[in-house]
Amino acid sequence: MSQLALKDSFAVGHLTPSILLYEPSFEGWLSAVYQVYERKMQHDESLQLIAAHQYIPSLISTATSIITDDEQAQRVLTKLNKLLGRSGMRQILWGFLSEKPNIGTTLFHVIKYAIDHPKRNVLEDLGRLEVLELAQTVKSVHREKHRMEAFVRFEHTTDDIYFARVEPDFNVLPIIGEHFRQRYQDQHWAIYDLARGYGIYYDKSQSAPSRPAELQTITDLDEAVLRNPASIHSPSEQRYQRFWQGYFTNVNIKERKNTRLHRQHMPQRYWKYLSEKQILPNADYLQKKR
């Protein structure tokens, strides 16, 4: 083989990334991390860890699917808990919940840095690009968590369940559930993420005097209900929404309307699930005559 051919062959091989595809769960990513070290791939600079559903096949890349293994995932989790502590693991989890296309790779670089320097507080080293990227991602996830806790609107149904639909930018249901579990222990309630097709449900009948019930995961809800939750509104909910819509219209002062500031404090993407932003039949019957 000529020197030119050898050079071209090396260049192509050097540019070909090694990709591990993990099942889209935190345990799936942990299993992929385990396999990186099991296969001694941790020094491969081209290595990428990508969620299987986000992977786009390429002619110059080779991808290997990793099966989730609970035992392997637990071993990695135990190791990371010792290295990063509770606060550090929260950052790793919140970063993972961002679901960014490259987050699996970014998180791997962060934990590899921690493994290589066990006595260093690596998550404070913002001079490292991957650590800085994680910090910025966690900040975005935290902001979305805070907004979801503020803007969720429950609607009372004929089944005596307070039901809310959300569509967050990030997968924040796992980290907002405790907020509502502590505050609404005397009600049946559910929050459903339309973008990801699952929700969390609190059944007050499973609670005890000393502790609230555990949250349950729900899936495959009736599409008709998801599209039109008003079809299962209780009579009290219908009355409440009319009164609330009338109040919202009443307190609005047209001369002081500042749409730009309003959108700054309450982004428009949340409006479609806020009862006060919906146009309901006869909702303006309380409006004052100006």
pLDDT in tens, 219-267: 989 898 888 888 899 999 888 888 877 777 777 777 787 778 767 777 7
Average confidence (pLDDT) over 108-131: 95
Say what the pLDDT of residue 279 is: 60
Torsion of CA 27, 197, 143, 155, to 10 degrees: -140
| Residue 179: pLDDT band with limits 50, 70, 90 | very high
Q: What is the pLDDT of residue 262?
A: 67
Q: What is the pLDDT of residue 13?
A: 44
Domain boundaries, the chain: 3-143, 152-233, 234-290
Return the H-helix or E-strand segment holding 20.
Answer: strand 18-22
In this prediction, residues 83-102 reach a mean pLDDT of: 96
The pLDDT > 70 percentage for the chain reads 90
pLDDT for 289 equals 40
For residue 141, what is the enclosing H or E element?
helix 129-151
pLDDT at 290: 38
Average pLDDT over residues 188-214: 93
Q: Is 255 helix (H, G, I), strand (E, B) or coil?
A: helix
DSSP β-ladder status, 62-66 and 155-156 = unpaired
Nearest CA to 280 out of 232, 241, 237 is that of 241
Q: What is the pTM of this model?
A: 0.83
Question: What does pLDDT average to over the chain?
Answer: 87
